Amino acid sequence: MIFDTHAHYDDEAFDEDREELLASLREHGIEAVVNVGASIAGTKRTLELTRRWPFFYGAVGVHPNETAELDEEKLEWLKQVSAEPKVVAIGEIGLDYYWDDPERDVQKKWFDRQLELAREVGLPVVIHSRDAAKDTLDMMKAAKAGEIGGVIHCFSYGVEMAREYLNMGFFIGIGGVLTFKNARKLKEVAAYAPIERIVLETDCPYLAPVPYRGKRNSSLNLPYVVEELAQIKGLTPEEIVEITNRNARRLYRLGDQ
């Protein structure tokens, strides 16, 4: 069964039918989901989802574009909730220069502090990096993030950058963008990266694959990503599902749960 390593089911896009949709995931071949916090409020909603649904896990953290809300008190709260049994990562954290808000120094400060938090609590990190390739890599190397481990979510750079992260021991998160006609770079990365280091994700409600590009995404669309990755890798869809599920459990240190 499929493991969706990165979702945002706390998003308001799911307010009308969240219960019905989540109740249907298992029967459609989705074994597990990691819901990822993007703000303090989103992290609180993520924790509620992990308590409500047995097959949901959570990542707690603040997205770079939301870091203006952070202070030491909120960071301490993140540390406390990271001890909950179904919290499996710190994230999503990183740098986003596409929106460039808040200012880069604020993003960098709280990226560094959340990397420290992950090291302190012994959890892997979920990294968001958009239009910030060099600064993200430089900061992660300075923080010796290879010792922390984790995933580069929604990977958007080329093979050279993928090589850097693979050498650090990171997983590469791949979702609906792989099915886009203009996703040449990501297809090259998918071909280059060992299948044992790739995990599936949706980033839902965003980045729905073809043929649903531009519509609300959900874990139900992951078979389209599986098909595309299977073609690139010369494997069967069943092999892709089995291997990426195993990879996700290694990434989030879930063992045989």
> Residue 171: which pLDDT band, with cuts at 50, 70 and 90?
very high
- Please determine, for residue 256, whether its predicted confidence score (pLDDT) is greater than 80: no
Average of pLDDT values for 57-70? 98
pLDDT exceeds cutoff 80 at 257: no
Position with higher pLDDT, 15 vs 255? 15
**Domains (range + CATH), the chain:** 2-251 (3.20.20.140)
Q: What is the enclosing helix (H) or strand (E) of 18?
A: helix 18-24
Residues 6+ away with beta carbon under 8 Å from 240? 195, 226, 229, 230, 233
**Cα separation of 82 and 101, whole Å?**
26
Identify the three-state secondary structure at position 178. helix
Average pLDDT across the chain, whole number: 97
Q: How far apart are CA 99 and CA 107, in angstroms?
A: 11
SS3 181: coil
Report the C-alpha gap between 180 and 200 in whole angstroms: 16
Report yes or no: 49 and 78 within 8 Å, Cβ to Cβ.
Answer: no
The rounded Cα 207 to chain-centroid distance in angstroms is: 13
Q: pLDDT tens digits, residue range 71-120? A: 999 999 999 999 999 999 999 999 999 988 999 999 999 999 999 999 99
How large a percentage of the chain has pLDDT more than 70? 99
pLDDT of residue 100: 85
